[in-house]
């Protein structure tokens, strides 16, 4: 039984938590079964390079799945157990990543372009993806998500989701190419394939985060952040895959790096926020809205709606992007940008609209809770601090003032205090809405933590 956590996160007697974990475990089991069945079928009936990869990669995927599960749960445990579980998770994820890299390198990238090219492509995609994750996390202006969960989301998108779709898509593509008329009909089928399989695989990661880490999954804004992070992770690996493949196709003509560079620009610059990040952000938005809806029917509707928009957006791009002819002239460069803007722009605008509205909604409610907390005169939030905490710019100004007075340590102390105060307001908001399964003591411990940090700063 969990008796002492900082702050205490789970109510050991909660009836909600075990049910959620049960669903999460069932989903994880389904994923594993799907992986095993599809990879064996792939290997037996296709016996291609991806077939072998899928079979040998199973162990890596299982290790990473188990490791991330332990990792995200680690922070809900008390301090005494935390280190032990962190080490366990680290070892499992490390082994999984190494094994996975080995399998991918040997059977996929080496096959097409060699490990050196694959490594260069990965290095080229790292800074852009890191920038994307930084921006996505910063979008949550009121209550930023912990880096560990944002990175876990991206890792799921990059490793688990891509592994899932490699197998599903191989089977679908092979079947379609053997059965359908080449041309628009086949292209439409493949667009449905990409939309359905890739969004389901990515959405599963968002759904798992929601089920396992609901305490860090507050609302629509968090959903968009996690969804976009999963999409960025997926886009990272897909970019490497396309870059290495096109390099190998065009290298004999002396245009390998040009082809890989065009892919890099299209996927890591132009499409960084427009493609996978946008689609999966819709799934996250659906899950985030469901998080706060009162009835089960509405929750299911919101999650399904998020998936439908994501699948439709992805399908529209894959099926109809070629409607816009790209001329082989200098104007073609303008057309490429216009095509992305016209085809994916409306979807990205939709996500931004939900995000802006979500931030306003979250901000107003946090302000309301901060005022109520200040009115209790507990000392955790003072009336004068409310307008500062409510404004990201004023919070930054306060941290910069601390920086000029006390240097970096002062900056980080004030930052920790502000975060703890916002955590408290968020906890109060969820409790008022009866959508939280942590005990009341958790709120008091958050209050105590704020007081402790305040004393540090005063000292």
Partner 1 sequence: MSSVTYDQLRTLYRTLLVFATVGVVILAVGLVEFAYFERPGEGSGVKAHIVGVYQFDPDTRQPVGPDRSEFHRTEEFAAVVDWSSIPSNMIVDARWYNSFGSIEGQVGPAAPTELADKSVIPVEVPSGLHYVLPGRYTFVVERLEDGVPVEVLGRRFVVVERS
Q: Which chain residues interact with partner 1 by CB under 8 A? A: 112, 177-178, 180-189, 191-192, 220, 248-250, 252-253, 282, 285-286, 289, 292-293, 298, 301-302, 304-306, 308-309, 311-313, 315-316, 319, 350, 353-354, 357-358, 361, 364-365, 432-434
Residue 98: CB minimum distance to partner 1, A: 27
Show the DSSP H helices in 199-330 as ranges: 199-212, 220-250, 256-264, 276-292, 296-320
Instruction: Name the percent of the chain in helix, strand, coil, to the closest 5.
Output: 85, 0, 15
If the CB atoms of residues 208 and 343 are measured against partner 1, the closer one turns out to be 343
Residue 174: CB minimum distance to partner 1, A: 10
* CA gap 203, 349 in Å, rounded: 20
If the CB atoms of residues 11 and 187 are measured against partner 1, the closer one turns out to be 187
Peptide bond into 7 cis (omega under 30): yes
If the CB atoms of residues 255 and 403 are measured against partner 1, the closer one turns out to be 255
Residue 294: CB minimum distance to partner 1, A: 8
Q: Nearest-CA neighbor of 301 among 314, 315, 286?
A: 286
* CA gap 171, 181 in Å, rounded: 17
If the CB atoms of residues 364 and 452 are measured against partner 1, the closer one turns out to be 364
If the CB atoms of residues 120 and 221 are measured against partner 1, the closer one turns out to be 221
If the CB atoms of residues 69 and 109 are measured against partner 1, the closer one turns out to be 109
Assess contact for 151 and 67: CB atoms under 8 A. Answer: no
Residue 39: CB minimum distance to partner 1, A: 21
Helix axis angle, 147-155 relative to 220-250, nearest 10°?
40
Burial degree of 136 (CB within 10 A; 0-12, 13-18, 19+): buried
Residue 341: CB minimum distance to partner 1, A: 18
Residue 273: CB minimum distance to partner 1, A: 18
């Amino acid at each position: 039984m969990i008796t002492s956590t900082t702050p205490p996160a789970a109510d050991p007697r909660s009836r909600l938590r075990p049910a959620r974990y049960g669903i999460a475990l069932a989903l994880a089991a389904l994923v594993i079964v799907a992986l095993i069945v599809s990879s064996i079928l792939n290997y037996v009936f296709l016996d291609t390079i991806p077939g072998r990869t899928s079979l040998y990669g199973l162990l890596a995927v299982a290790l990473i799945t188990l490791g991330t599960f332990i990792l995200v749960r680690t922070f809900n445990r008390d301090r005494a157990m935390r280190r032990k579980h962190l080490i366990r998770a680290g070892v499992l994820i490390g082994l999984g990543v190494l094994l996975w890299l080995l399998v991918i390198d040997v059977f996929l990238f080496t096959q097409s372009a060699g490990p050196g090219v694959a490594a260069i492509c990965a290095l080229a995609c790292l800074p852009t993806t890191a920038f994307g994750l930084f921006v996505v996390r910063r979008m949550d202006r009121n209550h930023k998500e912990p880096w560990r969960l944002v990175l876990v989301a991206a890792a799921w998108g990059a490793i688990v989701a891509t592994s899932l779709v490699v197998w599903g898509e191989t089977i679908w593509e092979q079947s379609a190419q053997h059965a359908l008329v080449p041309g628009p009909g086949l292209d439409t089928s493949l667009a449905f394939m990409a939309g359905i399989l890739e969004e389901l695989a990515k959405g599963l990661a968002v759904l798992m985060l929601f089920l396992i880490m609901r305490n860090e999954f507050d609302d629509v804004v968090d959903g968009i952040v996690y969804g976009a992070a999963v999409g960025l992770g997926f886009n990272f690996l897909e970019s490497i895959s396309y870059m290495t493949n096109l390099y190998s196709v065009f290298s004999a003509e002396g245009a390998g790096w040009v082809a890989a560079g065009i892919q890099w620009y299209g996927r890591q610059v132009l499409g960084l926020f427009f493609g996978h990040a946008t689609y999966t952000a819709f799934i996250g938005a659906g899950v985030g809205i469901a998080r706060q809806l009162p009835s089960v029917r509405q929750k299911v509707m919101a999650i399904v709606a998020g998936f439908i928009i994501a699948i439709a957006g992805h399908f529209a791009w894959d099926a109809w992007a070629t409607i816009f002819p790209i001329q082989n002239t200098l104007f073609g460069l303008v057309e490429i940008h216009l095509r992305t803007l016209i085809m994916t722009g409306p979807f990205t605008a939709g996500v931004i609209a939900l995000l802006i509205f979500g931030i306003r909604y979250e901000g107003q409610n946090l302000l309301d809770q901060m005022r109520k907390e200040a009115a209790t005169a507990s000392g955790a939030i003072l009336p004068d601090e409310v307008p500062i905490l409510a404004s990201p710019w004023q919070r930054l100004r306060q941290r910069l003032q601390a920086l000029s007075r006390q240097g970096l340590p002062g900056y980080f102390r004030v930052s920790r205090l502000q975060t703890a105060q916002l955590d408290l307001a968020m906890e109060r908001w969820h409790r008022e809405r009866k959508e939280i399964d942590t005990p009341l003591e958790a709120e008091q411990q958050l209050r105590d933590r704020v007081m402790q940090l305040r004393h540090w700063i005063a000292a």
